[in-house]
Structure 1
Amino acid sequence: MQKIKILAVAPYEGMAEAISSIAGTFNDIELTVQIGDLDTGRKIAVELAHKNYDVIISRGGTAELIRSTVEIPVIDISISGYDILRAIKLAETYSGRYVIAGFSGITGSARVLCDLLQYDIDILTFTGEEDALPALRDAEKRGCTLTLGDMTAVSAAKKLGMNSILISSGTESIKTAIEGAVKLVRSSLHVHKQKDLFQALLTDQEQEFLIYDPAGSLWFSSLAVDEMNDSLMNLVQTYLKAFLKVPDQTVARQIRDKVYTISSRHLYYSGQKYTAVIIRLTDAIIAEENPEIKIYNKPDYLAEDSPTYYSSSSRTGDTAYMIEEYSRSKLPVLIAGETGTGKDKVASMMYENGPFAHSPFYVIDCKFMGERKWNNLLTSDNSPLSSLHATIYIKNCDTLSKVQLEKLFSYVESTNLIKRNRLIFSLVTRHGEPHDTDCVRTCLENRLSCLTLLLPPLRERLSDFSSIAALYLHKLNVSLGKQIIGFETEAMEVMTSYQWPGNLDQLHRVLKELVTLTSTPYISYRVVKNIIAQEPSSHADSFTTSLDLTQTLDDINYQIIQTVLKEEQGNKEKTSKRLGISRSTLWRLLKSRDIKA
């Protein structure tokens, strides 16, 4: 027969020993004894209640507090008339005046006993632990020097320097309480049988289950007592607040060589909301410290605290609109742009505002994926690609070989990956080298029907430059403890005339250097000029390798105009701005060489 699991919370050590001794005479119970009075006892019961006890036994005010906190049945170890009479008889040998004090479990029986035996004894009833000291202090003023009572009364008497006698529960009362607990559980045996069967079913699964009550206290756990893993429970606590508020969330965290996938559901019983937490453990396919695969979750996903730079001008306003609309869609998206244009930031924005924001965000960096790791990603059951309703960001697709790319497309098409998850791809475009990524981009757009988002380089966002710089300056002021307002006019001209081959990443780094070197409200022209002079020129290499310096000056100028015009894709306004000449001058120079303007 299945043993009955009893948790005994004794208010004092002597009772704990008595309970353990008497429980040893029962063959059908499994007993755990803890010592704690009142709130301490209540906390013990709350902490242990989820360990699948059938019933709790305790005494007096401690039992009342436990009963008001946990849903497990609580059996009170009563104070019999004989227990009280024994204490009174002992007190009769005391020469001074005494008082009976405690919670109603003791004082109610004491009143009945005193009425029957016509004892004239002061009786004080506590409604809370805070009542004990004031009540006994008043009794002391009336000449009482001895207190008969429960643990609360005895503890308060000691603080006041009064003598005290603890009214303890006799063996008969303890045995009666244990027998009552057994009868209570046996009377609802069919319910406990169902509970045990369902619990066995849950614990035999590869998943673990936790259930939290409406107050966020652990109510049920499928984990065996000796398997309670502190790091795992701490991990659950990290997300519990979010789970209690929002249902149907899934987070994933890799710890060393294991991946913990934790999901939540809301269950309702008698109008009360309970939160179920399901934990699944799998082997990681990549070591935690490796950069190939990273896992993020919305509750704790805090990308670098950088502002959004796609909402300040007409062109970037269009980009912001596309990001917003693409975020809502479940269709795959290709983000293309030069190095440093914010592709990772845009991908994270699409995740945080996307349809699967309550599931993990997997970032797979193709730049670090060798052939063996790539094959493992596409074949392992524990791969992020095997997820359901996750957002998967495959970055730097331009670094994949043709074989790897073909394997990816075959996997996506054969497993319906696009229908199961949200896919985001990114590739790096290079200024002046448009053909390097054409094949990858064409395959992603045509074979996978990706929506395409082209992020403009910083040199094409000059109308946004001052706004972007202001947002970065604010962030740097906070992190570096500065109070910089902006740039001197000449300094800003130097900043906007530079081509910024590294785009936003380079701008952020340069601004950090400028802010560090500046102690005045405005960043000076001199400091900017010195820093920019140390930065690489985005077009110098292409110029020096393509220019024929043996020609005349007019021919060399013409070559420069042709090179810049090609890089700006025939845009004469941008070309003239880069060359520092007017559009009419550019037109005249081209016309003079019989080139149609």
Structure 2
Amino acid sequence: MQKTKILAVAPYEGMADAISAIAQSRDDIRMTVQTGDLDTGKRIAVELAHNNYDVIISRGGTAELIRSNVELPVIDIPISVYDVLRTIKLAENYSGKFIIAGFSAITNCSKVLCDLLQYDIDIITFTNETDTVPALRKAQKEGCTLVLCDMVGSKAAQKLGMNSILISSGTESITSAIDEAVKLVRSSEHVHKQKDLFQELLTGEEREFLIFNPAGTLWFSSLSVDEENTTLMNLIETYLKAFLKVPDQTVTRQIRDQIYILSNRHIYYEDQKYTAITIHQQAAILSEDDMGLTIYNSLDQEGDGFANEYSSSHKVGNTAHMIEKYSKSTLPVLIVGENGTGKDKIAKHLYETGNYSSYPLYIINCELMGERKWNALMNSDSSPFTNVNTTIYIKNPGSLSKVQLEGLFNYIDNSDLAKRNRLIFSLILNSRENDQTEVCRTYLENKLSCLTLRLPPLRERIQDLPSITALYIHRMNVSTGKQIIGFETEAKDLMLAFSWPNNLDQLHHVIKELVIITKTPYISYEDVKNVLANEPDEKTSGKNHGFDLSLTLDEMNNQIVQIVLEQEKGNKEKTAKRLGISRSTLWRMLKK
């Protein structure tokens, strides 16, 4: 029997993974899964609908948009009462007030569930997309900090700086939608036979090609939707207007390590002009440069962008207010903190919510800047330092040499760099490898008058750990398709007792590992114990050295010298510098 060819457009990664897993267990379908919400999902469906699919499945508002823009039938993945219940149980780990918000597909079953189980949870129903922000803003003023919602509500919550947990569809709902799609296609199977034969003939060519209708809308494409081809489609869009007007043109461009040759011709059918674009690909001679200097635009990605990457852990606790205030200022900002406290994510968030978000963000990673690249950065006419109204994030300038740092300071002083652009700096406070950190901090705070944003280590905000872990678990649930609710009580106690020397980065990868290995709704004590046993812990890592107070002062001084000398791997010059003494004094102390 012919397999049913289904295009699944999932609004988030976790659903995509769940659909793929279900599809692998069935032999009656051939499934292609793509991820995209609302307009992004609609665009994916429009681009791929002509690639020999029989039916499309999606969810909620994304399904409605696809249905109104493609000719193929669209099956909606429903949201069940069980999906809502699982989300509520996860949110119960959150310490703040939360509500349920969404369109009627979500809120109707939520109201029934809350009535049956006597849950006292506020429920907001959206009638259209423009309702979302005003409705959630009102809830925010009433003390709500977490929203259980669909993707539209999640994006609205993000704009307002609120946390959100996505109400995801379970395997039962996905399986039901696939069954309905198969039943629908088999009822009209004879319609697809001729289309399948001609489609197979065209897509068997080695070259790729696209056909646009007279209105300039993509009508057929042999390209799959992936990161590389999305870039290629953006390139085609640049020349599409010219290709629609004049036939027999050829354009050659390089993208990363590939050369693309685009050729067009016009085809007439029933007095309608269609434009065919043929794509030939060959390897490029030169490759891309490294990532010491990267550029990001807030419009580069639709929807979440860097805001999705921005760690929600800093929306919990005392730093959230300062981050929000600093983002609205154009003054330079210095972000300081230990390794793993999320400095890069905060810098990107300051850019996305700042006054210069419509201009590029330049990220200069000083640790990856060799001498040649640094000199080019300081002297080239194309340097971001020559720009106006942009955001420049100088990451860890403490890793620069003394000469490089003096050159940077002189440039800032003499060029009005901080007045022409928004400057953001970050420094690592607990790294011994960056000799110029203190010198750099003194200049940035006292001379440049930076606003200082200190990101506290996790051990100083351990009371926020339950809220942070609930948000991390939610994101992992979305990305992996799992439905974990939280920790067992004893497991949570272990997490609270841990010292977290590598802070949020360490917590994030621990949560990731725990979610991957957990097969039950709650993360167990044994799993937490086993995972944390392999993690560095300040209590056992030797970072905190105890001293025997029964020793003399000279003996304790000698003990300190030996500890620092060991940490500096026997380097006496670095040891003397850290201790603030001369090498001759260190030599006398070691000899004594």
TM class by shorter chain equals 0.3 to 0.5
Q: State TM-score, norm by structure 2.
A: 0.44
| Larger-Rg structure | 1
